[in-house]
Structure 1
Amino acid sequence: MIEEMGQQSLFNILISLMVLIAVWWSVQSIRFDLFLKDPEGIKAKGFMVVLTLALTYLVTSFILNYLNWSQTLRFLF
C-alpha cells in the first residue's frame, strides 16, 4: 500500500514536470510584446512564470484526473 502511494507520487511528479516543460516551451511562442508595455521587464517575466504554472496545474490536473477515472472505470461492471 505504501509502496503504491510512493509510485503514484513519483508518477504524478514526473507527469507534472513533463507538462511544465511542454507548457514553458509553448508559452515562449506567445508574442507578449503585443499585450504588454515592457515585454522584457521583470513584471512580464513574472507574468510568464505565473501563466506557465497556472496552465501546468490545469493540464496536469486534467491528465491525472483522466487517468484516475479511466482506472476506476473497471469498477463499473
Structure 2
Amino acid sequence: MGNSNELAYSTIGTNGLISMIVSLICIALAWWALQGLKLDLWIRHAKSAQGRMLHLFLAIILGHFVAKFLLEYITWSQMLKLMF
C-alpha cells in the first residue's frame, strides 16, 4: 500500500510541476505578444510603473487562460483513450 501512495504523490507532484512550467511559459509568451500592443492609446503614461504593472497583469491573466486551456486539452486527449 505504501508504494501506491508514493506513486500517487509522485504523479500529483509531476502534474503540479508541469502545470507550473506550462503556466510560466504561457505568461512569458503573453508578455511577449503584448509588447506589440500600444497601451499608450488607453493609458496616459504607458511607460510608468502603473503602465508596466497593468502590462504584467494582462500578461498573467492572458497566460493563465491559455495555460488552463492547454492543460485541459491535454487532459481531455488523455481521456479519449479510455473510450476504446
Q: What is the TM-score with the length of structure 1 in the denominator?
A: 0.89
Mapping for residues 1-77 of structure 1, pairs under 5 Å? 1-77=8-84
Paired letter, 2:66 = V
Paired letter, 2:17 = L
Aligned length: 77
Q: What is the TM-score with the length of structure 2 in the denominator?
A: 0.83
Larger Rg: 2
Where does structure 2 lack aligned partners over 5 or more consecutive residues?
1-7
Where does structure 1 lack aligned partners over 5 or more consecutive residues?
none
Q: Which runs of 4+ in 1 moved over 6 A?
A: none
Paired letter, 1:21 = A
- Per the TM alignment, residue 43 of structure 1 is displaced from its structure 2 partner at its CA by 2.0
Q: Within 1, Cα distance between the matches of 2:70 and 2:9? A: 23
CA-based RMSD of the aligned residues comes to 1.1
